[in-house]
Amino acid sequence: TADQRWEMRTGETGDGARIVHLVDQSGNYAAEKMRVDFVANASHELRTPLASILGFIETLNEEAGEEPALRKRFLDVMFAEAQRMQRLVEDLISLSRIEAEKYRLPGDRLDLGELLEDVAAEIEAARSPRAENVAVTVEPGLPEVVGDEAQLSQLFHNLIGNAMKYGRPGTPVTVTLGLDRSGLLRLTVVDEGEGIAPQHIPRLTERFYRVDAGRSRSVGGTGLGLAIVKHIVERHRGRLDIASKVGIGTTVSVAIPAADAVAGTSTGAAVIK
């Protein structure tokens, strides 16, 4: 409301990182509003498949249970709905873990190229739809990064997964990892898909924000993939850029500093676009 005034308050986390809070006159944080929306959205996303599973169980218990073909069809739907709930719960757990570690710098030195090759092999082994369209190129001799292996692997999975999900069938998904002109390790994932209209781009990393919710669900999306990516990029002091042309395709790029560039710097803010 118009008479509501907010005050900026800076604080420190346990390990010395600085944080900024917006606080109203009675001392409530603006973050509280975001938390309430998030819980409401997450509950709603879980309620829909759960209601469907309960409905099918009820029907199976009655007449449909007798008929083998119908029973099989209902069980298949229940399985798909349960998988949807599982993906959502897994993503919610990832998101809260990553957020909890936000101010702790990742500690391991690792070879990002090797990790990307591993993820590409996993995608191929899982026989994911469109896996054969994915082409990965890693520049030789890249410097190491300081990172969290599980999180960076998830970042690769989410971005390549989106390109496979939203790219047109049969078109290539081109993944490259190299050094850019400013000495950052840069991952780019290019698809030839439907693209994203400019007004949506700044909001894609919000939790549960989707351009087309029906389409996202039908390809197995949870609406949390890019929110997770954003948090992982922030924790690695990197930068995320999304460029897209409707009807042509999308390019997502992530730049992460090399290990030697991170060593010796004090806490600094990540730039996210």
Nearest distance from C-beta of residue 259 to ligand ADP, angstroms = 28
* Contacts (CB under 6 A) with ligand ADP, residues 139-178: 162-163, 166
CB 185 within 8 A of CB 114: no
Q: Does 105 bind ligand ADP (CB under 6 A)?
A: no
Tell me, rounded to whole angstroms, the distance of Cα 246 from its chain centroid: 21
CB closer to ligand ADP out of 106 and 223 = 223
CB closer to ligand ADP out of 231 and 235 = 231
Distance separating alpha carbons of residues 257 and 270, to the nearest angstrom: 11
CB 218 within 8 A of CB 207: no
CB 162 within 8 A of CB 225: yes
Q: Does 257 bind ligand ADP (CB under 6 A)?
A: no
Q: Which residues pair with 268 in a beta bridge?
A: none
* Contacts (CB under 6 A) with ligand ADP, residues 189-208: 191, 193-194, 196, 204
Nearest distance from C-beta of residue 194 to ligand ADP, angstroms = 6
Nearest distance from C-beta of residue 123 to ligand ADP, angstroms = 15
Distance separating alpha carbons of residues 177 and 136, to the nearest angstrom: 8
* φ, ψ of residue 106 in degrees (nearest 5): -65, 150
* Candidate list 222, 233, 235, 239; residue touching ligand ADP; CB under 6 A: 222
CB 254 within 8 A of CB 155: yes
Distance separating alpha carbons of residues 67 and 74, to the nearest angstrom: 11
* Candidate list 84, 130, 157, 210; residue touching ligand ADP; CB under 6 A: 210
Nearest distance from C-beta of residue 168 to ligand ADP, angstroms = 10
Contacts with ligand ADP, 225-254, as mask; x by CB under 6 A: xxx----------------------x----
Here the tokens at position 43 are 């509950």
Question: 52, exposed or middle or buried, with CB in 10 Å at 0-12, 13-18, 19+?
Answer: middle
CB closer to ligand ADP out of 242 and 262 = 242
Q: Does 130 bind ligand ADP (CB under 6 A)?
A: no
Query: How many other CB atoms sit within 10 Å of the CB of residue 230?
Result: 21
Nearest distance from C-beta of residue 251 to ligand ADP, angstroms = 9
Q: Which residues pair with 8 in a beta bridge?
A: 22
Residues binding ligand ADP: number (CB under 6 A) = 20
CB closer to ligand ADP out of 225 and 257 = 225
- Residues lying near ligand ADP in the complex (CB under 6 A): 162-163, 166, 191, 193-194, 196, 204, 210-212, 216, 221-227, 250
